[in-house]
Structure 1
Amino acid sequence: MTKKEIVKRQKEIKIRLTEAEHEALLERMTGGELATWIRQTCLEEKPNKKRNYKVADPQLLAGLGRIGGNLNQIARQVNTIQSDIEKIRAFAELAMIREQLQKVLADYDR
């Protein structure tokens, strides 16, 4: 099965538990959802690795959003330029902006 293929779960299993049994399952559970934990435990599936993202600075995100919008406007204008020399200059400027953004993000990620 490739990553693009999505398998829908269509079968449902219902079981009755006492309150104590339910609590025991919840205590043993590692992770988020009980159904996922049972599936992984009973079928020996490997749990999906979840990436832990750092909390992002809202001001940084807002600034990057504005820069992204500006870059899109520049890219649209570049597409209307007729002169090859002007296009090369514009692409060089875009490349410099991209490098600067990557540096800022790399510094922030440390």
Structure 2
Amino acid sequence: MLTIRVTDDEHARLLERCEGKQLAVWMRRVCLGEPVARSGKLPTLAPPLLRQLAAIGNNLNQTARKVNSGQWSSGNRVQVVAALMAIGDELRRLRLAVREQGTRDDS
């Protein structure tokens, strides 16, 4: 048996990532390297939207690399990291909305 402590925010993020599966089962699969089956199909997205999302992801990765390179002052890094975290939260919400739309499309 294994017990871990997480913050309320971390717990919410874990529940979000396990997509409605039992958290313990999902964590075992992820931690032990077993494939995790998706619940439901993702909806088809318009190619222009996919290109735009890919561009946003590329920009975020470039920004993260720049922050991690140590070329910015600590104050600037803190501001950028805070902005990246906010963007990450918004992207998680977008991902959930897309998955919920896919669930509604399947019915």
The higher radius of gyration belongs to: 1
- What is the TM-score of this pair, normalised by structure 2? 0.49
